[in-house]
Amino acid sequence: MRMKLHICFLKEICCVFPAVFSSKFIQHEIVGKYSHLFTVQGSNPEMMPYMLLAHMDVVPAPPEGWDFPPFSAAEHEGFIYGRGTLDNKNSAIGILQALEFLLKRHYRPRRSFYVGIGHDEEVFGRKGAMKIAALLEARGVKLSFLLDEGSAILDGIIAGVKKPVAVIAVTEKGSLTLNFTVEKEPGHSSFPPKETSIGILAAAMSRLEQNPLRNLFGHGPELMTVEHLASEFRFPLNLIMSNLWLFSPLVSRVLAWKPSTNALIRTTTAVTMFNAGIKINVIPSSAKATVNFRIHSAEKATEVLEIVRNTVADDRVKIDVVEAFDPLPISPWDDQTFGVHIFQRTILDTFPDVDSVVPGTCIGNTDSRHFTNVTNAIYRFNPLLLKSDDLPRIHGLNERISVENYEKQVEFLFQLIKNCDTDKLPEPHANSHEL
């Protein structure tokens, strides 16, 4: 079934993007059976290449609760409904669409670049993006920058900031998943022991939730985000954010109030699975729980594991590591960074209502984490304008993208490819666009 769907997808994109697949300077490869790698050979081999990354796989979408079938791509009142319209088929198709437009205008890029479309990002990307990265590394490829999903233009989402803000994630949090198990002798519920396996494990989980890991505001990119945005906040927030030397303790406490901002300033703890019991009158022999920690850029997985052991502080609770990886290195964000200038220029070209382009943190994980051996400049930005009611739709019900938003995404990618052909660092500016 998977191969059949892959063949159907390949036939469809070959049909929709004929210029891409017939170009003499574009090589297309299938990697890991289902992922796609496009090599666009620029006319100037002396210019360092870059990469645009996306994925076409999605999380499950049962039809219950959807206004339209989740895989119908139904268009209604200016919106396209469907799983993957925001995460991340929009980028996969948007990149190919932008490249198709350029080719039909007989545009030959000067700077070479790669397009990677993974097939298993939602399950860690081991068979897709990881193999693409290994292939590029084996070929000795070094990239000037890599652009993947992970953040967006936030409109009305940052409290106290009126105008839309483009947030480009310069790192992403690490992850530690642990299994917790308690085993005791089973028995009859009519003469229970003082503590059951469920009670012991529930108490351990409660200790983890009641004792969050430390607030690390000021030790990661969240500080750069606030500093870059300081002047955009309304009074008196602009005064507070401009004087973090004095108000940092206050800001860190306020950020901890909401889950969305709390995730930026600490390693988070999420009890995601709990299993125990087989019958109402049987004391279970075991109880199991799974907890996922998303690791702040100032901490390591080994540090978090040690803190967890000390917090649980109960030898009856067995702890096993399911998966662990550290936060990604923080990518450069300065005036001498080519990718940053390109993003600033292209965003201001494409989105005239945006005044601020700021660095940030991706609290999720993306395929980009597999490419650290081919570049130290990894950025996560999906060129979409998102409002607060859009966020629950990602991995949720009624995921959708407006036609206007998708058009803007293609325009951004079209212009980015052209802007990357410059030899010198450009100055950000705004103007109308030919598309």
Indicate if 121 belongs to the active site.
yes
- Beta carbons of 110 and 42 less than 8 angstroms apart: yes
Contact 217, 255 (CB under 8 A): yes
Cα–Cα dist 59/56, whole Å: 10
CB pairs under 8 A, 24+ apart, for 216-219?
A: 216/265, 216/266, 216/267, 216/296, 216/298, 216/299, 217/248, 217/251, 217/252, 217/255, 217/265, 218/244, 218/248, 218/252, 219/296, 219/297, 219/298
The CA-to-CA distance between both ends of the chain, in Å, stands at 39
Tell me how far apart the alpha carbons of residues 329 and 170 are, in angstroms, rounded to a whole number.
8
The H or E element that residue 319 is part of is: strand 318-325
Torsion of CA 278, 280, 282, 288, to 10 degrees: 40
Q: Would you call the peptide bond into 88 cis, given omega within 30 degrees of 0 as the criterion?
A: yes
The active-site residue, picked from 87, 100, 120, 121, is 121
The answer to whether the beta carbons of residues 53 and 36 sit under 8 Å apart is: no
Q: What is the largest CA-CA distance in the chain?
A: 82
* Alpha-carbon distances of 275 from 118, 125, 201, 402, rounded to whole Å: 33, 28, 10, 41
How many CA atoms lie within 13 Å of 30's alpha carbon, on the beta-carbon side?
A: 7
Cα separation, 100 vs 235, in Å, equals 46
Contact by Cβ (8 Å): 319, 290? no
Q: How is residue 89 written in tokens?
A: 């088929």
**420 C-beta neighbours (distance < 10 Å), count:** 24
Give catalytic residue positions.
57, 121
